[in-house]
A and B are shown apart, each in its own frame.
Chain A
Amino acid sequence: MDFISIFSIFVMACFVGYYVVWSVTPALHTPLMAVTNAISSVIIVGALIAAAASGAPAAKWLGLVGVVLASVNIFGGFAVTERMLAMYKKKERK
């Protein structure tokens, strides 16, 4: 993909992010940080490509370490978000 197409997606996504994040209720700002943390670990895609590539053992090992770190974040981030969100509930009125 040429740079301008990619850049256009990026700029549009910034605007989408701007509007979506302003609509997040302040009570959920901590889960917001946890879940953004988890999704930013999509960087694992880059680490997987590095780990998969043959020919450069150093790059492969760096990729594998990257996969470990990003996995901590993916599993940890989604799990802790899930745990927090489960606590936000309305109590049944007695």
Chain B
Amino acid sequence: MRHALIGASALLFSTPALAASGEAVNPWVALAYLVAGVLFILALRGLSSPETSRAGNRYGMIGMLIAVVTTLVTHDIASLPEIGIAIAIGGGFGFIVARKIAMTDMPQLVAGFHSLVGMAAVLVGVAAYINPGAFGILDDVGEILTVSRIELGLGVAIGAITFSGSVIAFLKLNGNMSGAPIMLPLRHVINLGVLAAIVVLTGYFSIMPTADSSTIFWTILVLAFLIGFLLIIPIGGADMPVVVSMLNSYSGWAAAAMGFTLGNTAMIITGALVGSSGAILSYIMCKAMNRSFISVIAGGFGAESGPADGAEKIDRPWKRGSAEDAAYMMKQAENIIIIPGYGMAVAQAQHALREMADMLEEEGVNVKFAIHPVAGRMPGHMNVLLAEASVDYDKVFELEDINSEFAQADVAFIIGANDVVNPAAKTDKSSPIYGMPVFDVEKAKQVFFIKRSMGGVGYAGVDNEVFYMDQTMMLLSDAKKMCEDIVKAL
């Protein structure tokens, strides 16, 4: 880590301060953008622990301020009032949304923000194409530089994919569009064809004279909007953590491509950071589901699931418990592990759950929270909700850190999760979730499973052996209501 940083900074300081197309710029300007880029690195570095995270966020803000002010003072700005108004409109809107949004809606907010980055990249790319002189990307005879054309083509394409893909992800997460995969016939052929066309056209765009290239440019843009849309519609709701991370990555690559066009180090560093960040998050999510990135992107997972396949299995014997039973037994327990899932977010049950955990702790019970990497609709979704309900983050554990403790646990309390506790992932090779790392809840002495009804199956559409175990008691109710009832019973 340290070596990489030293290497990068040595290299950055040795580069000559020239703008794209060889136009000389003030070295202080290049330095200012570099400082902004380094501050962005520190912003991410701060997130390695909750204690340093807020300082990190401040570094990010300072970096952004430096980048914006540097741009404003070094360019001949004829339209400063308009720009001020534009920033005020956008900034005011963004600030209000950030204040008002419910924490459970964070996945759709992030998807929405991604779409804006994508669109901004498209607008900058189009503006650079219309007015290349302002961006310093013209050669001596007034043609756009070849390398800049490739960057522009790729930049607007990635930006457009980010935009339309994020809009679909937003609509699915926000419930404006069904979370179920939408499967078009021949979709793989269509998608590959469109992608190939974008690549070929970008190559063609880079070699033809600027004056004749406008049709190609707009075609690339339209195809890219189309492919973003086509790529995301076949992907189902619970694969959204991967999609949101992937779009996060794309928004970074789009910014980097524009950074290349402008020869701007702040944009390039940021683009690379965000691009790697999203890529790593997608990788972590895929690994936590034991699925390949390709299979997630190919889509369709969970499409065949429906209430119908669960129907015949409901005949197996299972025990139903009440809030009073749960309260009584948990009061006697020594160690309780709570496993929250997306259902908790849907029911907004985090505050009631925390109240329950607090009351149990007053009874001398040791309460821990266990979070699966793919619980919820985006990476870290459950952690944020528990933090919102002011659950101490020392009590919240990741899968690999807590899984060995189930054997000592008196109670495993499952609220709104299902597939992440399904032992079929370990035993049943034919199961669609086989190989996915899951919590060993079957080792706990007693399991409480909050679920709305016995009819529904998890997202993967597979039955869960845990329902029928001797030590399992099903608490059939809305997650929030059940927690409140348990609190009352305590």
A71 close to B270 (CB less than 8 A):
no
Residue of A nearest to B94 (CB): A76
Instruction: Name the distance in Å between A50's Cβ and chain B's nearest Cβ.
Output: 4
Contact with B along A15-51 (1 / 0, CB 8 A): 1111111111111111111111111111111111111
B67 close to A42 (CB less than 8 A):
yes
Which of B108-116, B220-228, B313-321 touches A?
B108-116
Instruction: For chain A, give the interface size range.
Output: 35 or more
Tell me the B442-474 residues at the A interface (CB within 8 Å): none
A contact patch SS:
helix
Residue of B nearest to A71 (CB): B90
Residue of B nearest to A5 (CB): B15
In the assembly, what is the distance between CA of A45 and CA of B380, in Å? 30
In the assembly, what is the distance between CA of A59 and CA of B468, in Å? 64
Flag whether B64 is at the interface (Cβ < 8 A): yes
A75 close to B67 (CB less than 8 A):
no
Residues of B within 8 A of A14 (CB): 272, 275-276
Contact with A along B232-263 (1 / 0, CB 8 A): 00000000000011001001101110111111
Instruction: Name the distance in Å between B282's Cβ and chain A's nearest Cβ.
Output: 11
In the assembly, what is the distance between CA of A87 and CA of B391, in Å? 9
Flag whether B403 is at the interface (Cβ < 8 A): no
Q: Decide yes or no: A36 and B277 within 8 Å by CB, A42-B64, A48-B83, A71-B94 being known contacts.
A: yes
The chain A residues found within 8 Å of chain B, CB to CB, are 1-3, 5-56, 58-60, 62-91
30 contacts between A and B (CB under 8 A): A8-B11, A10-B259, A12-B8, A13-B269, A14-B275, A16-B41, A25-B50, A26-B380, A26-B383, A31-B47, A33-B110, A33-B244, A35-B44, A39-B64, A39-B270, A43-B117, A48-B77, A54-B78, A56-B130, A59-B127, A65-B86, A68-B90, A69-B90, A69-B117, A73-B90, A77-B98, A81-B57, A87-B387, A88-B53, A89-B50
